[in-house]
Amino acid sequence: MAKILAIRFSALGDVAMTVPVLYSFAKAYPQHQLVMLSRSALAPLFAYAPSNVTFKGVDLKNGYKGFGGLLRLYSELRGEKFDAVVDLHDVLRTKVLRLFFLMDGVRVAHIDKGRREKHRLVSARNKVKSPLESSFSRYRDVFRCLGYSFPFNFKSVFESGKSFPSLPEGFGEKEEGCKWIGIAPFAAHKGKIYPLLFQHKVVRLLSSVSGVRIFLFGGGNREKEILSAWEKEFPCVTSVVGCLKMDEELALMSKLDAMFTMDSGNMHLASLVGTPVVSVWGATHPYAGFMGWNQQPENIIQLDLPCRPCSVYGNRPCRWGDYRCLNGISPEKIVERIKKLTE
């Protein structure tokens, strides 16, 4: 039996994308033990993992801050006698950790993020617009470097047979014939966010459809304020911001008929429970390899513009200043796609 440490600290979407890979590895190699090292807040993603997968959470801002914190973390990890380390992050912090392990005689491998290809994909002048390897495949390749080959066979975080959390009182049971739709209007960067005025229209159009119930997902005070206002405006709309823990959000998402998101962490959360997602892409592009698990190309809403994509992560300001890649998408087009998905 081998004991393997997998490392990925951030962000939510990137850590979520490790789940199908780690679950698939665990099923292919039940004799091996896999430990996932990440931020403590992301533990719910692994609460229903196969029995040979465990989660170790750390607070990098407090208990393990700086080089001294890394030394302390390594000292703790060293005591667990790992046979191999897979670095799924490849940032300075994880490079230092894997160097420590390497010096201790532990086999290590790290992800190839394809930085050069991604740079060409978003280049303003010499853009090479072609699909790149997905993050799922890149994560799996790290295991292959250590001699572990396996097929992808992940379906949902709730497939292990463990009972998943029930929803709090007030959500009610899903009535027969009723369609539950989730909407996550926000993302980490402006270049990924469909204009809120248009999203409000999406909510209005969907709420006018008989038998539809809409759940709004988000986080933080500003998002809570906006979505609470939408909830008050439309009788069939419920904002879950601040109401649910992450595992409860996953449970609710698993009951949805469809989810509408940006290129965001919520797209990946819905994907982890097998819910079909209609996603809007602006500054970023699915070609970069960050599509949700098992999501279908026909549910991608995007415009084919010469300037797209201009950013891998959506954090670059629009060079034209008007975010035409997002403002050019009509709410009606999104609603039409969601309706087709829920028919």
Task: Tell me the three-class secondary structure of the chain, residue by residue.
Answer: CCEEEEECCCCHHHHHCCHHHHHHHHHHCCCCEEEEEEEHHHHHHHCCCCCCEEEEEECCCCCCCHHHHHHHHHHHHHCCCCCEEEECCCCHHHHHHHHHHHHCCCEEEECCCCHHHHHHHCCCCCCCCCCCCCHHHHHHHHHHHCCCCCCCCCCCCCCCCCCCCCCCCCCCCCCCCCEEEEEECCCCCHHHCCCHHHHHHHHHHHHCCCCEEEEECCCCHHHHHHHHHHHHHCCCEEECCCCCCHHHHHHHHHHCCEEEECCCHHHHHHHHCCCCEEEECCCCCHHHCCCCCCCCHHHEECCCCCCCCCCCCCCCCCCCCCCHHHHCCCHHHHHHHHHHHHC
What pLDDT is stored for residue 162 in this prediction? Answer: 60
Ranges of residues in the chain with a pLDDT under 50 are none
The angle formed by the CA atoms of residues 239, 242 and 244, to the nearest 5 degrees, is 85
**pLDDT tens per residue across span 266-283:** 999 999 999 999 999 999
**pLDDT tens per residue across span 45-96:** 999 999 999 999 999 988 898 999 999 999 999 999 999 999 999 999 999 9
What pLDDT is stored for residue 63 in this prediction? Answer: 83
What pLDDT is stored for residue 175 in this prediction? Answer: 87
Owner of token pair 């959000």: 249
Does residue 273 contact residue 253 with C-beta atoms inside 8 Å?
yes
What pLDDT is stored for residue 172 in this prediction? Answer: 78
Indicate the pTM of the whole model. Answer: 0.96
Going from the N-terminus, what domains does the chain have, and what CATH number goes with each?
A: 3-145 (3.40.50.2000), 179-342 (3.40.50.2000)
What pLDDT is stored for residue 161 in this prediction? Answer: 56
Contacts of 229 (CB under 8 A, 6+ apart): none
